[in-house]
Structure formats: C-alpha cells, structure tokens
Amino acid sequence: MNRAKQILRRFTREEAEATVGRTIRSRVGFAGVPKGTVGHVEDIYHYEPENDGFDVIVKWDLPRRGQPVRDRFGKTTYDELLAQE
C-alpha cells in the first residue's frame, strides 16, 4: 500500500494506557535509533483531542547518548516499527 495514502491510526486512551510500562524493540533503524534497540513505553500523549486519538511515548535505552531519546508513536507506526518483548 502506498504510505502516502495509508490512514495513520491513533490509539484510544485505553489502548495507549495499556502499553505504558511495556518493553519494546525497534524492528528497523530510524531517526538515530538503531534496529534492535530496546525501549520502554513511558507515557501517553493526547494527539487528537477532537477524535480522542492518543500516541505513546517511548524512551529508548541508548547509553552512549548524553540525553534520553524519546519518540512518539501512533498505533500504525507502533505496530509497523516496534515489537513487544
């Protein structure tokens, strides 16, 4: 499917809250996060208040970095790019 035409889904509040505390691993490398990097879902973000759409915030375990690296993921990108441990 053409990514430009793909609908990006968001989590519901319940789905997002259920991921908090989970350990995940990147399936691919992206934005300074190498493939196979472990991270933890640490919080949720109310991305689309009008549609009750939420993202999750992942904190990556990258000890060589001076500051913590965090990324936000909607449901579509979470399912495509991350694997649960």
What pTM did the predictor assign? 0.86
Tell whether the model's pLDDT for residue 8 goes beyond 80. Answer: yes
CA–CA distance, 34 with 44 (Å, rounded to integer) = 23
Residue 65: give the domain boundaries: 3-84
CA–CA distance, 84 with 62 (Å, rounded to integer) = 18
Domain count, the chain: 1
Q: pLDDT by residue (tens digit) across 28-78?
A: 998 889 999 999 999 999 987 778 899 999 999 998 777 889 999 999 999
